[in-house]
Structure 1
Amino acid sequence: MQNNELKDITWIQSHIVRAPIARILGLVELIVDEKLIENHILKIYLQSINSSAMELDNIVEKITKKTYSANIKGI
């Protein structure tokens, strides 16, 4: 792959893909922190959504780092 393609992929992963994940994490945190929910089951569901979004964010971050590293090495 050419360096410009790797740069484009890195940018897409770190901005386009991670933006919705960050919004999900922020919204779940607001709902849980503001005590907008009293239903215990709903709170558990929201915590599960938060955990899954964090996991996905970590995966995207790892892919971004590997792509960036490949770009630096000129692969």
Structure 2
Amino acid sequence: MNWQEHIISDKDVLLGKPIIKGTRVSVELILELLATGWTDKQILESYPQLTEQNLKAVFGYLKDCIQHEFFFPLPKSA
């Protein structure tokens, strides 16, 4: 999966947040929906401009962010 074919950042759209190419749907929104229990099916029905490949690209993007250490360090648990 080449997430770069699906996710872009444009300073003129949503202040440069990563979005699904050709939309104003942010990676952040997709992650928020998934984190609150939405299914892929619910997201695709609510945002018909998205595809399954777009959703897979979000995870590819996150994987690369983590591999390149673009994340917030978490404190050690006691």
User: Which TM bucket (shorter chain)?
Assistant: 0.3 to 0.5
User: What TM-score do the two structures reach when normalised by structure 2?
Assistant: 0.34
Bigger fraction of residues in helix: 1
TM-score (norm 1): 0.35
Structure exhibiting the larger radius of gyration computed from Cα positions: 1
Higher strand share: 2
The structure, 1 or 2, with the larger RCO (C-alpha pairs under 8 Å, 6+ apart) is: 1
